[in-house]
Amino acid sequence: MVDYSSKNSRLNKRYKAHVDCSNGLLCEKALLAACLDAYIDGKDVNYANDVLEGFQTTIFGNANKNSRSMMVTAVKNKSSGGLFVTICNQSLTTAKQTQSAHVAAHVERSKHNIIMDVLKSLTFDYTVVKWEALTDWVTKTTKCVINEILNANERVQTSGKYKINTSNNNQDDEESDDDFRRENVDIAYLHIFYTIATLLCLDSMGVREVSCSPLPMITTVQSPTAAIMKELLHSLEIIPSRSKSKSVLLSTVFGTALIRVLRCRVTPFILLQSGWGTVEENDDDTTSIVIGCETDDSGIPNYNNTLNNSLFHSDHVTHLETNLDDITGENLAFAIQILLDNGALDVWVTPIVMKKGRPAHTLHCLCKDNILNDDDDDDTINTLLELIFIHTLTLGVRIYRNVPRAKLDRSITTVDTPYTNTSRKGQVDVKISKFKNGTIVRKKAEFDHCKVISTELSNVGISTVAEQAVMAYDKVNNI
């Protein structure tokens, strides 16, 4: 059995992936096959199956692995040279094929509702998926995918675009049968397995962002799945695509939701690995994925862009900037303050010269950015953009998303200085900056506190107060 964490050393570099689904195939099963093909990097199918076995144990645990009826295996696709993943339980495979082609609409709705019920329970049910065994990124991303699907389902129900919850009172129908429900619960967990295993592959290869060709959208199929697909495709770049039949979607809800959560803009990178995946053996419809490291403007690989390092933390921010040539100093200062008061991490101004030799300023603003598309972060960005337009006379703002940032651990400690005969009673805050291993990089006394003490004691300089505060910190901490 292969431990998927064996490649985690790659996380000290900045990797990303690009998925090509231009032929209309965007399915989590094909995505897993493509990612697995890239992950094994030329090794044989036996190695791929060891990886899949390790994934299943990680996701469901040893106790549930044998009880789950959807163990899968990887098979080499003779047509594309890539992989496809097949279900070992043939009754499940037959059931899926039969339902896709022959069941009535109310049975399709019943199947859909069962899958939605399973997704609703997953976020708090720790008995099936072993969330604690997954990395934080995989867990968070999986739950984002589930929430995207559930929210899209809720919007479809609310809008009435497709009547998903139509009930049927005939208890003898297939959808009320226990075997039917059990079968479709297993199908739901199969989708979850494909999704999490895909993320485990990406996580092991150090990939956190996935760009994608325009997503396929088929308008000829009418079903609960098709309705949710249309919701998930809102605001994304799409391209009309074909379907092999009037009742079959080559793309799936889980595949589309995965790309929606992981998506990033297309940027150049150096190709390192690639993989191809299909849904069936000898299928000509493939999903391909390429893995590489980002480059700087010169085309040289940028291995440190993620800034994952044992010494410091890293995250991503959004950088907003605009050029201003017709704003007064007072208004500019006010704009800076109001941005800081409304969620900006930092705001600053740089002097520039614009056309006709006019002196001007560039207003810069940093705010949080989440590569998993956190709605709260998007709200902050929109708020700051609105404030910039209101409080300056600019007509446009440049937006740079997902800008990598390295940062130290920071803390504030209050110390006692000898200057007790002041309004602050000698107390001064000291800001401490540390590496992740605890090594102190910088100690700095709070300027405003030192200013108050120095002002009240006219014979004590502000730098002297600051030195006393740092010395007090060192004494308390035996440094």
Reported pTM: 0.56
The residues, any chain, with a CB within 8 Å of residue 172's CB and separated by 6 or more, are none
pLDDT value at position 168? 44
Task: Give pLDDT tens digits along the chain (479 positions).
Answer: 344 344 443 444 567 888 887 766 778 888 888 888 888 887 888 888 888 888 888 888 765 544 454 467 777 766 556 676 776 654 454 444 444 444 455 566 677 777 788 887 776 666 678 888 888 889 889 988 988 888 888 888 887 655 544 444 444 444 446 677 777 787 888 888 889 999 998 888 888 888 888 776 665 556 777 788 788 877 777 766 555 544 445 678 888 888 888 887 777 777 888 888 777 665 666 788 888 876 554 444 444 444 455 677 777 889 999 999 989 999 999 999 999 999 999 999 999 999 888 899 999 999 987 544 445 556 888 999 999 999 998 999 999 887 888 888 899 999 999 999 999 999 999 999 998 888 899 999 999 999 999 999 988 999 999 999 999 999 998 88
pLDDT of residue 450: 94
Amino acid at the residue 255: G
Instruction: State the DSSP code for 133.
Output: G
Each residue's pLDDT tens digit, 429-442: 999 999 888 889 99
Domains (range + CATH), the chain: 12-294 (no CATH), 313-407 (3.30.70.1380), 409-476 (3.10.20.300)
The per-residue DSSP string of 332-354 comes to HHHHHHHHHTTT-SEEEEEEEE-
Neighbours of 330 (CB within 10 A): 8
pLDDT of amino acid 80: 57
Distance (Å, whole) CA 394 – CA 375: 26
Is residue 126 packed enough to be buried (19+ CB in 10 Å), middle (13-18) or exposed (0-12)? exposed
Task: Give the per-residue pLDDT at 208.
Answer: 82
Residue 398's Cα: distance from chain center in Å?
Answer: 23
pLDDT of residue 418: 93
- State how far the alpha carbon of 476 is from the alpha carbons of 421, 469, 471, in Å: 21, 11, 9
Q: pLDDT tens-digit profile of 358-400? A: 899 999 999 987 544 445 556 888 999 999 999 998 999 999 8
Q: How far apart are CA 350 and CA 9, in angstroms?
A: 39
Contact 166, 109 (CB under 8 A): yes
Distance of CA 362 to the CA centre of its chain: 31
pLDDT value for 75? 74
- First-to-final CA distance of the chain: 49
Q: What's the DSSP call for residue 305?
A: S
Which backbone phi and psi does 68 adopt, to 5 degrees?
-75, 135
